[in-house]
A and B are shown apart, each in its own frame.
Chain A
Amino acid sequence: MPDVQALVNDFVLKLKRRKIEGSHASAQHTAELLRSVISHQRMPYTNQAGALIDAVKAVGEQLIAANPVELAVGNIVRRVLHIIREEDLSSTATAIEGLGLSAGSDDDDEGQHEDRPALSAAALAAAARSTLRAPSLQTLLEDIPDSAAAPQPPSSGGDSEGKSKSDKNIRSRKLKHDVIEAINELIQDIDTCHEQISEQAVEHIHQNEVILTLGRSRTVKEFLCAAKEKNRSFRVFVAEGAPRYQGHVLAKELVSKGIQTTVITDSAVFAMISRVNMVIVGAHAIMANGGVIAPVGINMVALAAQRHAVPFVVVAGSHKLCPLYPHNPEVLLNDLKCPSDLLDFGEFSDCMDFGSHGGSPLLHVVNPAFDYVPPKLVSLFITDTGGHNPSYMYRLIADYYSADDLVVKRRSTS
């Protein structure tokens, strides 16, 4: 599958060069890429889910390494893995009945056949549990292997081989097909999450509200526009969001929808927040502890909002939900951008002289891309599944990811 590898390499390169940025774009690209990886994956006769998972993990590992800060990539890889597991589970469930029937007829294989359904059922139960909740002591004790399909012995009795072969052929097609179907749904979800989020806008924005936002987020834009379409009239303060100044774009978009918009400098956030009823911002990623990785500057806004007891609302699609717990996220989950956003190289070339001061330059320019907002500063998350508290995020994450995938790394044994 050289063509797939080329696609992967291409995407990895784009991620590395930050050609693809923004969680929405990268999530979508990742899902599409994984879909083509899966569709090109040659399916073995046995342990098909395992093979798929391995393939996805191999690609996912590269993608995540390409830009570890772009958490949406990892999220989508995990989502796809989760999808594979689920589809496999459901196909196993249908297969169990068939196997149960054949077990009765073949006497010599009785022992094996007895064995299999029992094991599968246990796996099924365990897998079902694991999809619904985070790993528990029970699942650990039951020692259920990685994938539900994995424990199946490589081959069953000789005489049943032909039968099971044809059976598996159908199943393999079906599994792949189902997985691709599910990924398509995922892609669609990513695309339409804005609509589902913005449907909730009227519940949160009332007449004459004053809303503050920083920078530009498509979700925020849709959210505000949706409220405007419902004939709510309100006022929006947009902080420009240095160094990208996407606030200008947002302001233009909002004005074209007829929303009263005032553009302020980032430094005026504290001055204005006392007159604001609600802060609505987008996010780069939502961590499992309820913390938010957001465009730089938002922590400042959150602190100001807290000071003035203004609700701080984060709107984000579920593809931004990251199952990881952050450690030192301000540094480890951050990107330092080009200094030229802040300083003109031409003007400051004399200051950036490495030679004259013992090799270390006097001037450093810090231009981080993200801020980490701790969960205590967030009042509410609005995702496509509704509004949630920061403390509930870990639970929401269990719905989307299976606990086995938190670390996307191919097992060395396989």
Chain B
Amino acid sequence: MDVRRGQRTVIDPKVRQVGFVPAGATRPPARSHSVPTDACSSSPPAPELPLSGSSLSPVMIPPPRHSSADGLPSLSRSAASPVPIPASPLRRDTVQIPIGSYNPSESVLGSSPMISPSSRLDAVSEFSDEVPTSAWLGRSGSGKFASSFPSSSGEMMTMKITGGGSGGGGNTPKSSLTTASVVKALPGVSEKDRGALIEVQNEGISKPQKQKTSKAERRAIQEAQRAAKAAAKEAGDQFVLCEAVKPSASSGGALPASKQGKVVKPSSQKKDGPQVTAPVVPSEKKVGDRIPDKDRKKDVPHPRMQFDDKHRVEKAKRRAVVNQSEARNRVELFRHLPQYIHGTQLPDLESKFFQLDPMHPSVYKVGLQYLSGVISGGNARCIAMLLAFQEAIKDYSTPPEKALVRDLTAKISSYVSFLIECRPLSISMGNAIKFLKNRIAKLPHTLSESEAKSSLQSDIDRFINEKIVIADKVIVGHAVTKIRDGDILLTYGSSSVVEMILLYAHELGKQFRVVLVDSRPKLEGQALLHRLVAKGLNCTYTHINAISYVMQEVTRVFLGASSVLSNGTVYSRVGTACVAMVANAFQIPVLICCEAYKFHERVQLDSICSNELGDPDVISKVAGRNDLNHLESWADNENLQLLNLIYDATPSDYVSMIITDYGMIPPTSVPVIVREYRREHLWI
């Protein structure tokens, strides 16, 4: 015991190392940075210009890579590609989309932001609890993302341009691009006069080509009109709630195009300079100026399905592929979460294998793996799902009379709802699905089916590679700088990225000891312990109750996370909060390691409102302890419930630092990343 004390003094654990030391060589070289606040509020040139070559320190949050890539060119050159392509080379070669050729499809996207406030809800719900109904939902979702980012002018501009294409019938002169880029708008600027001006100009434009015959095309136009109508309504009373938009959008559709154009105007307008050009690209303006309040609305995540809502649960049940029986002794406090008898789905699913016609075998397999717990952990589940989708896309062929974009989105959504039935989605998976749907929605119509499929497949590959594999490498590089000789590092459960950090630090020859804290019922730490000890790391293993005892000697706490929410709350394996709390009580720095694709704009204060419930049966049995059979027939007694929470929420004040692929940030900077970069995940 004395030994333990002695060690501690050597390292002087009480010093909090929260500082953001530049990571030096380990940092990815090419990133540039801008001050986040600039990015949000100021006009485009301000954030973009300084970013080019400056080296970033981890404190600074680098702007989305693509914005630096396209933003500049688009500002300077009119010929810049309107497609927002991120800087990553991977992306470059995979998704080169011809500029002029895809205008029709893009136009849909461009105009869709108008309806997005309402449609977005649907889009989100597609993978939370609803089977998607049509492809345009997905598209509108994508549109909204673009418009929701005032900061990244480059993208926005391109969006606007495409929007303009729809309004103007796809023959927008190239020159408008330059002006459009300037359009970046402060919301409140003299809307009235500009509006009038635009109106006049719009009158002349109007009429998208109705002559295009394909169904998809027509639908696109229709949508544009709806959007316009919605906009009109909004123009009527400046701040209409997004709910209000929906009804109007649904009723619209047959509006004369001229009217549409007119209506649009009052709401649009941003800049005096661009006005001159505005006549050419009316709808584009509209997109731009509506951003501010629409953006705000969009930031509110869609409410999750509440399982105490009988009506909706019934509805969901009718749709469900998998039969699940409700658990008998449900915990009152968690009525709003699904509580099923675990294991009942598995045999049912197995028996249904040949009847589940639409389900792709690889998706089915992954679903079973989720169900049985073979695959767990945010990254592993996400990768497995994406690979399964990749398989499915490979084998996909568009049925006759259907558009690939819509049909594939519907397919993916049905896969997703199947996976949800197997196990509720993790937030990382949700983000990945959002990304994929966005990619599908953005597929140019001109692509042949095989091209589209290969493009999607490479998109998936790129997502896995960039957002997970490379991100992990970056995180490891950052985190290793925080490990010093003589450190005693504590980690909880089994986090893949923390494991990589520990192994890498060991490879570098750092002398440290690992304290592994584990908890029932999953005991994931044991597997990690095996792997670490096999690699020759010095480990101490204990259970979570002993955390106060082991914490005395610890100098750093490294924790993984399932997600980081935008109020800085860390949503992670249950018990993480306890560990962070005790570390905080002992004044030991807590470092959360989490890839940025797991960030989410949701906020959460406690672990009750949103969580996942595991199989309660595993609580009644303790592995290796046959004498503990007191709870064997627990389900028979209505007074007794077993609660197996999967996640908990760690308040942000317990977190010293979050290590992510954008650098090392304080928890207060999470919303910055979420808002400024979210678009990047969706838009790669």
Contact = CB atoms under 8 A, between A and B. Distances in A.
B549 A365 contact: no
4 tightest A-B contacts by CB? A267-B575, A297-B545, A271-B607, A271-B648
A362 B526 contact: no
Contacts of B607: 268, 270-272, 274
Contacts of B548: 299-300, 303, 330, 371-372
Interface stretch (A35-43, A103-111, A244-252): A244-252
B541 A343 contact: yes
B533 A242 contact: no
B512 to A, nearest CB: 13
Contacts of A249: 630
B5 interface: yes
29 contacts: A243-B545, A245-B622, A252-B630, A255-B639, A262-B331, A262-B641, A263-B619, A263-B634, A264-B645, A265-B520, A267-B519, A268-B574, A270-B577, A271-B647, A272-B607, A272-B608, A272-B643, A297-B545, A299-B548, A304-B581, A330-B552, A331-B1, A331-B552, A343-B526, A348-B529, A364-B541, A366-B542, A368-B549, A372-B548
Contacts of B611: 271
A21 to B, nearest CB: 16
A266 interface: yes
Interface residues of A, number: 55
A265 B539 contact: no
B648 A241 contact: no
Contacts of B540: 363-366
B639 to A, nearest CB: 5
Contacts of B620: 248, 263
Given A248-B620, A371-B548, A362 B639 contact: no
B543 interface: yes
Given A245-B625, A368-B546, A265 B541 contact: no
Interface in B314-350: 331, 333
B645 A268 contact: yes
Interface in B149-187: none
A342 B544 contact: no
Contacts of A272: 607-608, 643, 645
A173 interface: no
Interface string A222-265: 00000000000000010011110100110110010011111111
Interface in B603-629: 606-608, 611, 619-620, 622, 624-625, 628
B585 interface: yes
B566 to A, nearest CB: 20
A257 to B, nearest CB: 9
A277 B533 CA distance: 43
Q: How large is the interface on B (under 10, 10 to 19, 20 to 34, 35 or more residues)?
A: 35 or more
A300 B552 contact: no
A269 interface: yes
A383 to B, nearest CB: 24
Given A248-B628, A266-B544, A365-B540, A240 B581 contact: no
Interface string B565-592: 0000000011101100110010000000
Per DSSP, are chain B's interface residues mostly helix, strand or loop, or mixed?
Answer: mixed
A255 B329 CA distance: 13
Interface of A: 237, 240-243, 245, 248-249, 251-252, 255, 258-272, 274-275, 296-297, 299-300, 303-304, 307, 330-332, 334, 342-344, 347-348, 351, 357, 362-368, 371-372
B606 to A, nearest CB: 5
A271 B577 contact: yes
A263 B643 contact: yes
Contact of A263 (B4, B545, B642): B642
Contact of A300 (B521, B547, B625, B644): B547
B240 interface: no
A261 B639 contact: yes
A303 B548 CA distance: 10
Contacts of A267: 519-520, 544, 573-575, 578, 645, 648
Contact of B544 (A260, A271, A300, A367): A300
Contacts of A364: 539-541
Given A270-B607, A331-B1, A362-B533, A303 B640 contact: no
A299 B333 CA distance: 25
Contacts of A344: 624
**Max chain A CB contacts within 10 Å: which of B539, B541, B546, B577?**
B546
A161 to B, nearest CB: 57
A296 B581 CA distance: 16
A267 B573 CA distance: 9
Contact of B4 (A251, A331, A362, A363): A331
B537 interface: yes
Nearest to B654: A307
B631 interface: yes
